């Protein structure tokens, strides 16, 4: 039910044994929920933006069939019933609610997705002061919850938006060995004071909007996606990525200028299965383009002379864009690839290339890699090509203010055996990790031209 004006769902007790999903959203007058004993086979409960909801019936905590519970932005709700008896619960999401955190028992063996997030919520003016005074004690509640969690079950944990400071992130997180996604964004710590080395299955780490962050933690070798956008105090990646062999997407934009991004790029290109994959790197600053000269040319079009046996000696194309305007994280990047006749070089003014030179407006860098293995099935692929032209394209649906963001564009080949440094690329892509690779697709395919499209996985 959505946008209904009633104060309660129905009068008195009702027995509805066949109801499996109950969603109550934008019900401005709703004061309480029904007795859940009358809904014995309910599997999913969602309460969202019910601004006057003050109470959830205590029978919720004893429910045996619920698998998914979401409570989103119910500003007057203060207490959630203890949920220790919800033995089938696998997803609990509490987002933007000024409530006491629930009691979680150790017998919740199926809980795999826990979201306790206060980020991006516009509280009612009367509640702002009250909500933020809770931050002083909330980390004790978070620590208690994390300590009680069954470490064999939890795979996704979101503790974003609380404003937690140094040493207030529960260190027990480092022992959740099956964790695959960890979101600590929107907190105020300068660094993590515990190791992530035991998180050997961690795929995604989000530190976005950690404005005091000055140092990235050492990343486990399993990490595939790193999000650290709008971290204003961060300007170096240091040795955080030394063990990363599966890092396919990293975004560090909107914050400090990263002075050693080329080290991160080198590490990503040395990944164990990069020869069968694609990758995206977004950074604040243009340190990488300056290191890749003379690869970059001014404008959106460049050409690449292919060496003999290029498809066997190299693993893929490396593309670099220097941006004069803000490259928003969710923006689509499209690259058009066409064969050029070698005899026509220099005859078309379109390819009278001028080297890229840095200007005061250059802010960000986008780097993409696509392996040959992802292109070999296309109609366009031809191992006899000797010269290709590449064109950078903004997506057709991007806003006008984001047009013409490209000041420099360049293409290179990544050697099969050594990447930028030395690393053997012989292993095949793991199906588990493919779920955390960037969104890459063939937008157009013909004998004469190929258009490929990149889009950040985590922002879809």
> Which residues, at least 6 apart from 305, have a Cβ–Cβ distance to it below 8 Å?
386, 387
Q: How many CB atoms lie within 10 A of CB 38?
A: 17
Whole-structure pTM value = 0.85
For residues 459 and 330, the answer to whether their CB atoms sit within 8 Å is: yes
81-113 residue pLDDT tens:
887 778 888 998 888 766 666 666 656 778 888
pLDDT of res. 192: 94
Region 424-433: mean pLDDT is 37
Coarse DSSP helix, strand, coil percentages of the chain, rounded to the nearest 5 percent: 15, 25, 55
285-302 residue pLDDT tens:
999 999 887 789 998 899
445-454 residue pLDDT tens:
999 999 999 8
More confident residue, 428 or 32: 32
Show the DSSP H helices in 257-403 as ranges. 261-269, 287-292, 310-313
Whether the per-residue pLDDT at 310 is higher than 90: the answer is yes
C-alpha distances out from residue 357 to 264, 297, 320, Å? 23, 8, 14
Give the SS3 label for residue 434.
Answer: helix
Secondary structure E strands in 324-386: 333-339, 364-371
> Which residues, at least 6 apart from 113, have a Cβ–Cβ distance to it below 8 Å?
90, 91, 92, 93, 154, 155, 156
More confident residue, 456 or 318: 318
205-224 residue pLDDT tens:
999 999 999 999 999 999 99
pLDDT of res. 384: 93
Closest CA to 184 of 148, 166, 254, 201: 166
Residue 431 to residue 195: CA distance in whole angstroms: 27
50-88 residue pLDDT tens:
999 988 999 998 898 999 999 998 888 877 888 777 888
Whether the per-residue pLDDT at 430 is higher than 50: the answer is no
pLDDT tier at 150, thresholds 50, 70, 90: low
């Amino acid at each position: 039910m959505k946008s209904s004006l009633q104060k309660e769902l129905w009068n008195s007790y009702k027995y509805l044994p066949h109801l499996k999903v109950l969603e109550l959203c934008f019900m401005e007058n709703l004061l309480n929920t029904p007795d859940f004993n009358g809904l014995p086979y309910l599997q999913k409960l969602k309460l969202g933006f019910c601004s006057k909801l003050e109470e959830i019936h205590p029978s919720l905590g004893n429910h045996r069939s619920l698998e998914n519970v979401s409570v989103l932005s119910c500003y007057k709700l203060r207490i959630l019933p203890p949920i220790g008896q919800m033995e089938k619960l696998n997803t609990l999401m509490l987002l933007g609610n000024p409530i006491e955190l629930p009691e979680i028992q150790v017998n919740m063996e199926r809980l795999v997705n826990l979201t306790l997030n206060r980020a991006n919520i516009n509280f009612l003016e009367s509640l702002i002061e009250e909500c933020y005074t809770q931050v002083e004690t909330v980390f004790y509640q978070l620590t208690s919850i994390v300590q009680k969690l069954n470490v064999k079950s939890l795979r996704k944990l979101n503790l974003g938006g609380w404003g937690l400071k140094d040493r207030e992130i529960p260190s027990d997180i480092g022992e959740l060995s099956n964790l695959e996604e960890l979101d600590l964004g929107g907190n105020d710590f300068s660094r993590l004071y515990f190791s992530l080395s035991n998180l050997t299955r961690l795929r995604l780490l989000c530190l976005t909007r950690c404005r005091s962050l000055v140092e990235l933690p050492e990343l486990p070798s399993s990490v595939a996606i790193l999000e650290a956008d709008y971290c204003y105090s961060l300007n170096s990646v240091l040795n955080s990525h030394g063990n990363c062999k599966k890092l396919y997407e990293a975004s560090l934009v909107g914050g400090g200028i990263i002075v050693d991004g080329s080290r991160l790029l080198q590490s990503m290109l040395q990944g164990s299965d990069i020869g069968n994959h694609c990758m995206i790197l977004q950074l604040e600053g243009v340190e990488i383009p300056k290191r890749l000269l003379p690869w970059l040319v001014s404008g959106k079009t460049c050409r690449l002379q292919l060496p003999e046996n290029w498809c066997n000696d190299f693993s893929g194309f490396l593309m670099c864009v220097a941006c004069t305007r803000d490259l928003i994280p969710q923006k689509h990047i499209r690259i058009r690839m066409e064969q050029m006749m070698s005899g026509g070089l220099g005859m078309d003014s379109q390819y009278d290339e001028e080297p890229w030179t840095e200007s005061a407006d250059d802010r960000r860098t986008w780097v993409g890699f696509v392996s040959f293995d992802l292109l070999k099935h296309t109609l366009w692929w031809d191992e006899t090509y000797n010269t290709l032209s590449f064109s950078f394209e903004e997506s057709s649906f991007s806003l006008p203010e984001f047009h013409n963001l490209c000041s420099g564009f360049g293409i290179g080949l990544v050697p099969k055996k050594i990447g930028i440094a030395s690393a053997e690329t012989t292993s095949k892509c793991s199906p588990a990790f493919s779920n955390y690779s960037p969104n890459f697709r063939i937008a157009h395919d013909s004998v004469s031209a190929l258009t490929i499209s990149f889009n950040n996985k985590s922002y879809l």
